[in-house]
Amino acid sequence: MTSKGALTKARLAESMLELIQTSGYSGTGLNAVIDHAAAPKGSIYFHYPEGKEGLGVAAVELAAQRFEALITEAAAAADGPAGAVRSAVEALTRIVSESDFRLGCPVSVVTLEMGAESERLRHACATAFESWIAPTAAFLEASGVAANEARSLATVVVSTIEGAVIVSRALHSTQPLTSAADVVAELIDLRCHPAGGTR
């Protein structure tokens, strides 16, 4: 059974994650997190002695875990890496559009706001991106992409999707995400099935 303290700690991280997505890291105050989580005052420093920075790290780690799970599920359900990318982007598109373009990737938000201000937050964001790039690279390699190309291609895939989320929010349109999925899927197909033969 999960303890009351553990539930409060998890609820605080969840609230921080949601508020970062809608208000940004800088725009999210600790009082807002406490109110959103319906947590006792003082609970943040009890569970996160480093205060807002520690809570921000926890939120980034939570976002990383969720998107990594999305990648894993997409890879398991799809018939190949191109299909997996399309499936993952479709899930992201639903999140962005159903929130009326208010929700995006909290990791990119924290990176842009705090990457130059907090080494701890920058490292948490770098770890999050790596947790998405590494399994994507492994899946690409298992699908026929040469080992020395899989990491580079995986980095392009993740970077392209991240950028498309930002542009979609700015334009209030899912077209950037749809276009990104099309281009990335085509690139993956070319690498997995190069002209003139297979790897």
Query: Global pTM?
Result: 0.90
**Domain boundaries of the chain, sorted by first residue:** 57-192
Query: Do residues 181 and 88 make contact, with C-beta atoms less than 8 angstroms apart?
Result: no
Distance CA 14, CA 18 (A): 6
Which residue intervals of the chain are DSSP H helices? Answer: 4-23, 30-37, 43-47, 52-77, 81-98, 106-114, 119-142, 147-171, 175-192
Residue 77, pLDDT score: 87
| pLDDT given at position 152 | 96
Dump pLDDT digits (tens) for 94-125: 999 999 999 989 999 999 999 999 999 999 99
Band of pLDDT at residue 199, cut at 50, 70 and 90: very low
Span 164-190, pLDDT tens digits: 999 999 999 999 999 999 999 999 999
Q: Is the pLDDT of residue 162 over 90?
A: yes
Fold of 57-192: Tetracycline Repressor; domain 2 (1.10.357)
